[in-house]
Amino acid sequence: MRHDGGAGDVLGRDGPGWALHPAVAPRGDEPVIDKDRCSAFHGTDLHEQLQRRGITHLVIAGMQTEYCIDTNCRDAHGLGYRVTLASDGHTTFDTPELPASAVVAHHNRTLAQGGFVEALPVEAIAF
């Protein structure tokens, strides 16, 4: 997934954050799906691509915890996927109210207790 933040945004198509980092670049025929909302499912063919491949279990990691991570965990669960949240594999920024670590901890707990995800540290996730 790649997020398009729009014209002038650091994550916009012309921004410095648009290019995929080599560490997470797709291999072989792995698709890159561009999104312009928090949900990777809204307005994309992600769900259809996963269904075609018979994928029923998603591991979610990335940024930004309170936006894209939270939304995608809930959307994937609602579409019937088994969802594992990499509890130490997502991040955000400090806010005036909370440090990033508290935002991450809150979402790990809320999403797991709500039954949306199984939250596991990266080292405990088998691929």
Express each pLDDT in 7-21 by its tens digit: 999 999 989 989 999
- Which whole-number Å values give the CA distances from 17 to 5, 20, 45, 88, in the listed order? 9, 8, 23, 22
Q: Model's pTM, two decimal places? A: 0.93
Instruction: Confirm if 29 and 53 have CB atoms less than 8 A apart.
Output: no
Express each pLDDT in 54-98 by its tens digit: 999 999 999 999 999 999 999 999 999 999 999 999 999 999 999
- State the chain's maximal CA–CA distance in angstroms: 43
Give the domain 55-127 fold: Rossmann fold (3.40.50)
Total H helices, total E strands in the chain: 3, 5
Task: Name which of 70, 61, 71 is nearest 106 in CA terms.
Answer: 70
Instruction: Confirm if 74 and 80 have CB atoms less than 8 A apart.
Output: no
Interacting residues of 30 by C-beta distance below 8 A, sequence separation 6+: none
Question: Which amino acid does the sequence have at 75?
Answer: D
Does residue 127 register a pLDDT over 90? no
User: What does the mean pLDDT of the chain come to?
Assistant: 96
Domain limits of the chain? 55-127
